[in-house]
Structure 1
């Protein structure tokens, strides 16, 4: 933010104020004593050639018999010192000029603003505010200029971590001039610091209207809705961002998938996770995809996803095999059961094989696996299977 302030002040307002500082009006020339006027004219000619050091020398040696002469020369010295890169000398000279209160009203206000802007570049925000606030109420300043003053006030308060005052300043600025992304981003910063989540959503929508291609605004809007626990608007924002051509990261797509699932649209959640899982994929993401396909009743896709997850975590071969059995894919189930290597699952695996072979009308094999299940872990279920299959074979 400090760098942003320096760029705005040094490149915009300071240059405008410099033009005014270099101009010697007939009224000013008349009020200066003749000797001072000659020195000032010489300094102006050196300034025009950007000979700042020589201009400073001329002004420093100028005789200033009147208070007006002193104020005028100090104002010019403030400009010259700033151009030379000596900010502290520029500030001292401008303070001497404005404190005299003898300049014409327009020149006085321009000098005060120039001084305030210089103080801002030196991180002297409280000192700058003492100058900005009186300027903000001036009736002689144009509306645009008062808008700029309120922007500086907002920036200064923000740097002092006075976020409520910064927000008041930026709102005053926005009443006077059209909203720009720079001013709205400052407003947003204050709102986020103050945890004004509803206000931040409105500001972010304005920023998106100005810069729809900037991903940061979309993601921050999602974050503000998240703070408000508004999952529907979180999802809507991500959907709109994607339609706008914003490239979402894998984690953002995962968030979007979770939101689809929470909103009762598991098929879209699964499709997004399938997109995320192209190529190499983490087991956790594959499990998410598989569970979403399962909720969407897309059984084949769910089985494939569970099988991919099982390649990373073999425990999921059991899940995939059970889903295959439930939906009539008995041969697929048998091949998946071959990969279940958990000893404690052995009795259940044998019973699952018995079921698969029974459905495939291979009753001898079914009975063999039912007996194996009973040998591994005697149970009423395995005994029932043995009795049922024995009767079938007879």
Structure 2
């Protein structure tokens, strides 16, 4: 776990560093560079440690990621400058003509008054999305009745991805290298750096799509399992940007700070933090344009479209979406007796300057947090922003309580 200048000195060009450590874990993990912005240009890969006795079914490691033709330094500079260039590339600038057409003129004016840039779901425009380095990945060796274990790591630089499958349910069997009691879902979202192990079944002798879609729905990547006629997974609807913009305006004051909303504290306690708020407001921007659509925030119905000569997965109004509360460890996770230490952090930052902080301090302004051996540590995090703050510990597991 070699974070330069934090856990070790950097490995200089043309030199070698050998890591030696006992293997006490198992499961799906991944590695990536911590130097500069090397991860964004492909310095990453799967790192899988097998049990002594693994399941006797075919296994495919999947590293999903994004690719941009821009140099990562230019991407970073553009984010720091808070320009709308990426939104322009995606066609999501939410212009005044669009606002008037969809009946959202007041929302647009309010957004400009608060000096907020175009609302977007993902920060960066990417030229491509990849599964093991390819946009379309084919595995034709599977036949009807076969089960396949997919070891999935999100090696993306900034995107969360929706995962769904045209061949039926997805069975989640592990997360972040830890086994869980199997749970069947229709779709799940995978955060940056997260890993999931899932099992899918090939129902017939056809080619089934395992679809990987970034939250902004600008494009997608596909893994095709089996051979024969293609069976497409349900595509995700375009995000409803003006509805999301209104939600953001209601949550922000003139200085760009979060407003304490009535009932917010209670909502935060029961909110599924694995489902983002505004991107899942989907469908037509103008409700009158499609009065049959009844999508609610936090819920997105699949399409029921068909194309000549191709099968499309049927939509199901009872779609099951994975959330963290559904994950159960198959073994007891009771902590040993010992002294308790409690740490509290405010997850803070500035969207326009693209600076992320804990308790309004960057890592360079902070000291190491010292923990004694044998201590049980409870970490409480408050996210009072409108942004996701994916958090992870290096070299350790933690329990979400």
Higher strand share: 2
> TM-score by structure 2 length?
0.17
- 1 or 2 for the larger relative contact order (CA 8 Å, sep ≥6)? 2
Higher helix share: 1
Task: Tell which structure's C-alpha radius of gyration is larger.
Answer: 1
